[in-house]
Structure 1
């Protein structure tokens, strides 16, 4: 298996894992405060990440890597989880998950700005068509009138896209699981005290479903998913592999329907087929066109 294909496979596994994030968050915030959920998931994942780094005796990042790691931490450890947890107080998981359809565009843009990638013009056409299909699907099927929730989700997408691009660049020399582990460890001195400070007085009134939601977003969404995702972005290209997240809304909607009994429109299947075609097209044109030698 060549490097690019390996990257796309790793990215796809990451997307499957991330697809459960918003439904799990939706369940968790029914019994837990959004701020506590954010800092608790980062604390749990950060503790596990620290153990991994110690067990495998990973060298400390260089000084030049600290600022990019801080950006990763602000984007994907703090920003996206907190903003989505707050947004899910105003909108359903089925509604919020469609905003993820804008994430591939955000990731691709930051891949160009930060990573110097230069996809072919046709790539942007397929990326825009895929994002447009997801947004149109949201507009057609129950877009809720919640400006606060929508603004929070849009802010989350921008923060996450930047965090993805920075993490992918770092993964090229640090490794995928090392990047998310170091970003989590970097945020641990802040997250741990906040988790203690914001913890519920008692967990007796917190449902098991909320605790399972916390467990999922801590272990899978915050750590394991990123191990695959950053590896995929580093190997397959930020802009190209990032388009796989066009599929995440539909995996997420399916999970929301199965687990939360939220309504899943039948048209989802048709739109998913369109999105898959856009992802395939974006993959084909994600690399810069080769320069033909002069005759």
Structure 2
């Protein structure tokens, strides 16, 4: 065997390592994009009503996705995948943006970040149910502990009860976890970016109708921050963020990608202070760290 042959035979290992590093970087970029979603949504609400903002966000993201799909001449998915794509669209394109936007009308981004910090854990639970795998007892104990931390935090911050914003946020956890789970499954049979691309295109008619209705009834007051907020949540959070996120998951797996998302709540807390000038309650970072610890235990238990 020549030196050249030896290098050729060893290349799969190098390619695998490179793919792992690339997948980790892509997933990490997705986490950074997601961490700025709540502050950008608050900015967007300066110019648009909640329904208009969510609809316009979906329309713009779908147009970007559709442009890529057309330019690359991507064939439509097989009929058997459209049901899962509908779940992805309903969860991450419509449900999560709408529920979190409604919540952020009365909730601070720091409060919402801690509650949504349970998303990786919720996704793991959905994935366990969807795939039929049975996590260990340690996993479930940590899952319950994380849920207790989040519920305790929301109740203490809400004066002893749950407010409407908290109900929106808990609903957002459920629909987004379902969307992540189905998206992760689809990323194993089609390129990850096509998962979110076709989900956005599927939701385009509904988004256009929603935008028309929302703009008819909600006032529009264009500001610089409001426009930047809309552009970010549409182009970066909804399309680019989910594009690199699903592509990263396809290369390194759902479990490894979800571990990177553990940093998202803390990043959002930093943005809420730096960009919005919010003051964190002493309980917010404590609760965020508590959730991260619980989720880290679940990841270790799953491994």
TM-score w.r.t. the length of structure 1 is 0.84
**Residue 164 of structure 1 pairs with residue 196 of structure 2:** no
**Residue 242 of structure 1 pairs with residue 265 of structure 2:** no
Q: Give how far 1:151 is off.
A: 0.5
For 1:131 and 1:228, how far apart are their aligned partners in 2?
Answer: 28
Query: Given that residues 33 and 236 in structure 2 are in contact (C-alpha distance below 8 angstroms), is that contact kept between their aligned partners in structure 1?
Result: yes
For 1:56 and 1:119, how far apart are their aligned partners in 2?
Answer: 40
Q: 2:60 aligns with which of 41, 44, 49?
A: 44
User: Residue in 1 aligned with 2:302?
Assistant: 286
Q: Deviations over 1:182-220 (max 9, x none)?
A: 000001112123213322689873221111111110011
Structure 1 range deviating more: 243-252 or 217-226: 243-252
User: Residue in 1 aligned with 2:203?
Assistant: 187
Q: Secondary structure at the match of 1:186?
A: helix
Query: 1:209-248 residue pairs with structure 2 within 5 A?
Result: 209-248=225-264
TM-score w.r.t. the length of structure 2 is 0.82
Q: Give how far 1:239 is off.
A: 4.5
Q: Which has the greater radius of gyration?
A: 2
Structure 1 range deviating more: 49-58 or 2-11: 2-11
For 1:240 and 1:121, how far apart are their aligned partners in 2?
Answer: 20
**Residue 59 of structure 1 pairs with residue 71 of structure 2:** no
For 2:180 and 2:163, how far apart are their aligned partners in 1?
Answer: 26
For 1:137 and 1:254, how far apart are their aligned partners in 2?
Answer: 18
Q: Deviations over 1:136-195 (max 9, x none)?
A: 66666x446652111111111100000000011111111111100100000111212321
For 1:172 and 1:81, how far apart are their aligned partners in 2?
Answer: 25
Question: Considering only aligned residues, what root-mean-square deviation do their CA atoms show, in Å?
Answer: 2.8
Query: Given that residues 112 and 239 in structure 1 are in contact (C-alpha distance below 8 angstroms), is that contact kept between their aligned partners in structure 2?
Result: no
Q: Give how far 1:95 is off.
A: 1.3
CA gap of 1:280–1:201, structure 2 versus 1, over 3 A, is: closer
Query: 1:126-165 residue pairs with structure 2 within 5 A?
Result: 126-127=142-143, 142-143=157-158, 147-165=163-181
Q: How many residue pairs are counted as aligned between the two chains?
A: 286
For 1:201 and 1:272, how far apart are their aligned partners in 2?
Answer: 37
Query: Given that residues 31 and 207 in structure 1 are in contact (C-alpha distance below 8 angstroms), is that contact kept between their aligned partners in structure 2?
Result: yes
User: Residue in 2 aligned with 1:292?
Assistant: none
